[in-house]
Amino acid sequence: MPSPTTKISIFQQSGIGEKKIQGLQAYGKDIIIAEIITLPTSLADFIEEPGDYFPSTIKGDLVLSFIKHPDLSDYLISLCNSLSIPVVASGPRLIQGAFSPVTCCALPPTDKLGAYGEQFGVPEYSVTLSDNGQTISGLSVTRGASCGATWLVLPKLIGRTKEIALEIIAREVQYHCQADPSAFDPVSGKSPLHFAGKVHTKALMKAIDKA
């Protein structure tokens, strides 16, 4: 039975969601982008009436928020909660009332986000090995990052030995990752960019072990 179509509303500032939009369009199935709403880049530090920046209705079954301004982000999430529309707002800030993974490739599998939750988030690969199990001769994506990095690295990995592929995948993913490389966690010293590389390495390792 085919999955029902999921309609997505996207809210962004400064075009920072464009790569994710391209990824949804290129790799998503049963997904329709119902609307893209781009908010102003230059804003006051404090916004007294954030509702002035938003429409009164939301067309999507799911909202992806790429809004950095906390007043606008919080208002959008409150609006979505009042309408019982789930919202994904990835980034370093844990946001009450939203799915807020640190990166788009950190979202765990969930049945609460329709086709988006099935196809995008923590990456999953399927591997075919040759040369007595030493070389990756086939590699496909079961689930991946909405920025497209999970898919874009495939040409760099196919034909490589397992060892080389595991050595280079993190670096290759980071070339395409849209996370802010300057957003270091003061405790771990790691950034979302490091996380993206690590989670893809782990996904490839798991697929190789399964193959």
Cα distances from 116 to residues 7, 13, 151, in angstroms, run 9, 21, 16
**In the predicted structure, residue 142 carries a pLDDT above the cut 50:** yes
The residue from 91, 119, 147 where one domain ends is 119
Kindly report the average pLDDT of the chain as a whole number. 92
29, 113: one domain: yes
**In the predicted structure, residue 115 carries a pLDDT above the cut 50:** yes
| pLDDT (mean) for 185-208 | 84
**In the predicted structure, residue 190 carries a pLDDT above the cut 90:** no
Distance CA 179, CA 165 (A): 22
User: What is the domain range of residue 169?
Assistant: 124-210
Residue 1's pLDDT is 46
For residues 108 and 120, the answer to whether their CB atoms sit within 8 Å is no
Cα distances from 146 to residues 7, 23, 116, 130, in angstroms, run 15, 5, 9, 30
Per-residue pLDDT tens digits for 13-66: 988 899 999 999 999 999 999 999 999 888 999 999 999 999 989 999 999 999
The residue from 119, 143, 173 where one domain ends is 119
114, 183: one domain: no
Q: How far apart are the first and last CA of the chain?
A: 27
Q: Is 165 a domain residue?
A: yes
Chain position carrying tokens 């405790």:
187
Residue 187's pLDDT is 45
CATH of the domain at 75: 3.40.50
Q: How many C-alpha atoms does 84 have within 13 Å on its Cβ side?
A: 0
Total domain count, the chain: 2
Q: What pTM, to 2 d.p., does this model score?
A: 0.90
**In the predicted structure, residue 185 carries a pLDDT above the cut 60:** no
81, 111: one domain: yes
Q: How many C-alpha atoms does 16 have within 13 Å on its Cβ side?
A: 20
Strands (E) in the chain, as ranges, are: 6-13, 31-39, 62-66, 87-88, 124-130, 135-143
Confidence of residue 95 (pLDDT cuts 50, 70, 90): confident
Helix axes 192-210, 162-176, angle to 10 degrees: 150
Q: Is 1 a domain residue?
A: no
Confidence of residue 186 (pLDDT cuts 50, 70, 90): very low
The residue from 96, 119, 142 where one domain ends is 119
